[in-house]
Amino acid sequence: MSALLEVRNLIRTFSEKSGEALAAVNGVSFTLSRGETLGIVGESGCGNSTLARLICRLLEPSSGSVYLDGRDMAELRPACMRLQMVFQSPAGSFDPRRTVGSAVHEALANRGVPKSGRAGKTAALFERCGLDAELAARYPHELSGGQCQRAAIARALAAEPDILICDEATSALDVTVQKQIIELLSALKAERNLSVIFICHNLALVQSFCDRVLVMHGGEIV
């Protein structure tokens, strides 16, 4: 498999109150192939969530590069739509003042879908993710954690990404719902040939879902 994503010597430092620089991510390099599910595990504070945000350019690296299809993502900001994140807190990833359906509409608008076609596509995405289309009219606090996470996956899919980054996307859910979300992700991965970066503390879940696993400690891959 050819590398879809390549991370080269990525470093991100933060300044502490003492004035010293702390490396949250320190010289991380790896590749992700098309259609691969890559697990990233490590204790809390090991740098895996910071790494996810660096890959998506939600944070700027202190040094190092991220390449998508061989092109530097620092020069291809529109290409960031090809990477989408599903976060740990389902409700917290939505604007509480807007319906979950409006978030999907926004993602479709960013992809250039005409306004007249957004409602139908949103309904189709909700239904594919196991939600009634009518739930698009509800606010995040009106949905369960599992429903909210499915809506978040629908929002990510609206961008038609090549890579889905799941940052502890199942940790806030109970075991039964975790299983359902993993089954949904597995099906979507097969249908759309998605590559997935799956950050998780649950080793059994990682073992059942991922093709390959990286272990982080102290900001490094060990």
How far apart are the C-alpha atoms of 119 and 130, rounded to whole Å? 17
Model pLDDT, residue 74: 84
- Tell which phi-psi region holds residue 67, choosing left (phi > 0), alpha (psi between -120 and 50) or beta: beta
Q: How far apart are CA 215 and CA 42, in angstroms?
A: 6
The two tokens of residue 41 are 């595990």
Task: Measure the CA dihedral 15/21/26/27, to 10°.
Answer: 110
Instruction: Compute the distance between CA of residue 71 and CA of residue 103 in angstroms, rounded to an integer.
Output: 29
pLDDT digits (tens, 9 = 90+) for 82-123: 999 999 888 899 999 999 999 999 999 998 999 999 999 999
What DSSP assignment string belongs to 52-73? Answer: HHHHTTSS--SEEEEEETTEEG
**Whether the predicted pLDDT of 78 surpasses 70:** no
pLDDT of residue 55: 93
Q: Poorest-confidence range of 70-79, 127-136, 200-209?
A: 70-79
Q: What is the pLDDT of residue 77?
A: 65
Structural domains in the chain, sorted by start: 3-221 (3.40.50.300)
The percentage of residues in the chain with a pLDDT greater than 90, rounded to a whole number, is 76
At residue 20, the pLDDT reads 77
Average pLDDT score over residue span 47-73: 92
| Predicted local distance difference test score (pLDDT) of residue 99 | 96
Are the beta carbons of 99 and 42 closer than 8 angstroms?
A: no
